[in-house]
């Protein structure tokens, strides 16, 4: 007797998606994963060269724009133009970080403006369109650094902890409007032009120690984080809201209740 296997359909074909920080790394992988599921994606990044390269590589269902997420007016214009182009907005993935470290107040201000306010501005600008969507979803990108004290504790970890709280707050506020809000907290994610690639080149001993701390013996790939993000964003996760999904290979040891 043949065994019937039900293939999981993420139900993303034709959905309209916004992704900030989408030209490289985790953001680029998120864009590619949405496109592979048949969604249309408008992405932004700060560097024109990166946006142009990504736009050329990603094809006709993706549109890239140069946006400084620290400027709410630029975000507002980008969201409006994207919604007009795609006929609405169903899914929003704020994925930006200053990757700031140090105690100087200017560094803290920069981290707050980009990591926190950049995400808040994007969500606020997209809310009018999300309220009209039958599949509205927001997925914030936090970090294990928002859960545990590590080499990225301040201000990066503090801002990522704030995003996790923000996501839970949004989920409670908008549940009755059928807008789901979740958070993904990646562990160490390696790609050559990312922070861990830089650490590997500049501090090989520190990199080796961090690599050894990963119970699975390696760091995550951007694609592994992207797949978790896209699942949470999709209608296949229709009864999941207010959760934080760790994608850390067992790096963190705290029990989640």
- Confidence label for 191 from pLDDT (cuts 50, 70 and 90): very high
34 contacts 230 by C-beta, under 8 angstroms: yes
**Residue 67, domain member (yes or no):** yes
pLDDT of residue 152: 83
pLDDT at position 6? 62
Does 207 fall in a domain?
Answer: no
pLDDT in tens, 17-65: 999 999 999 999 999 999 999 999 999 999 999 999 999 999 999 999 9
Q: Looking at the domain assignment, is residue 199 inside a domain? A: no
Mean pLDDT of 107-125: 97
What percent of the chain lies above the pLDDT cut of 70?
97
pLDDT score of 2: 60
Q: Is the pLDDT of residue 70 over 80?
A: yes
Q: Enumerate the active-site residues.
A: 142-143, 156, 160
In a domain, 72, yes or no: yes
Work out the pLDDT band at 5, boundaries 50, 70, 90: low
Higher-confidence position of 27 and 101: 27
| Residue at 83 is within a domain | yes
The conformational region for residue 167 under phi > 0 = left, psi -120 to 50 = alpha, else beta, is alpha
In a domain, 64, yes or no: yes
Considering its fold, how many domains does the chain have in total? 1
**To which residue do tokens 């992405």 refer?**
43
The parent domain of residue 117 ranges over 16-191+221-247
Q: What is the pLDDT of residue 163?
A: 97
Assigned domain for 58 exists: yes
pLDDT tens readout for residues 198-253: 999 999 999 999 999 999 999 999 999 999 999 999 999 999 999 999 999 999 99
Asked whether residue 45 is domain-assigned, the answer is yes
Cβ atoms < 10 Å from Cβ of 68: 17
> What pLDDT was estimated at residue 166?
98
Distance CA 153, CA 123 (A): 25
Residues 6+ away with beta carbon under 8 Å from 161: 142, 146, 147
Identify the band that residue 153 occupies on the pLDDT scale cut at 50, 70 and 90. Answer: confident
Cross-strand pairs, 93? 19
**pLDDT of 101:** 86
pLDDT at 256 over 90: no
Task: State residue 1's pLDDT score.
Answer: 54
CATH number for the domain including 48? 3.40.50.720
Cis before residue 229, ω within 30 degrees of 0? no
pLDDT at 226: 98
pLDDT of residue 147: 92
């Amino acid at each position: 007797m043949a065994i019937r296997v039900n293939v999981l359909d993420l139900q993303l074909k034709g959905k309209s998606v916004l992704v900030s920080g989408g030209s490289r790394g985790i953001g680029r992988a998120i864009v590619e994963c949405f496109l592979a599921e048949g969604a249309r994606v408008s992405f932004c990044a700060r560097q024109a060269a990166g946006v142009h390269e990504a736009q050329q590589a990603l094809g006709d269902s993706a549109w890239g724009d140069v946006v400084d997420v620290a400027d709410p007016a630029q975000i507002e214009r980008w969201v409006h133009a994207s919604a007009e182009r795609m006929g609405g907005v169903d899914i929003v993935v704020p994925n930006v970080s200053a990757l700031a470290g140090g105690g100087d107040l200017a560094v803290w201000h920069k981290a707050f403006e980009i990591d926190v306010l950049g995400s808040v501005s994007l969500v606020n600008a997209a809310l009018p369109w999300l309220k009209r969507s039958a599949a509205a979803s927001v997925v914030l990108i936090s970090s294990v650094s928002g859960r545990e004290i590590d080499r990225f504790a301040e201000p990066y970890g503090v801002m990522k902890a704030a995003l996790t709280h923000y996501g839970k707050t949004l989920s409670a506020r908008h549940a009755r409007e059928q807008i789901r809000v979740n958070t993904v907290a990646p562990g160490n994610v390696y790609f050559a032009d990312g922070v861990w690639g830089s650490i590997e080149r500049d501090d090989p001993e520190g990199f080796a120690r961090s690599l050894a701390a990963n119970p699975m013996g390696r760091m995550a790939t951007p694609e592994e984080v992207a797949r978790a993000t896209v699942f949470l964003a999709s209608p296949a996760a229709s009864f999941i809201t207010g959760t934080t999904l760790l994608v850390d290979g067992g790096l963190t040891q705290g029990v989640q209740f």
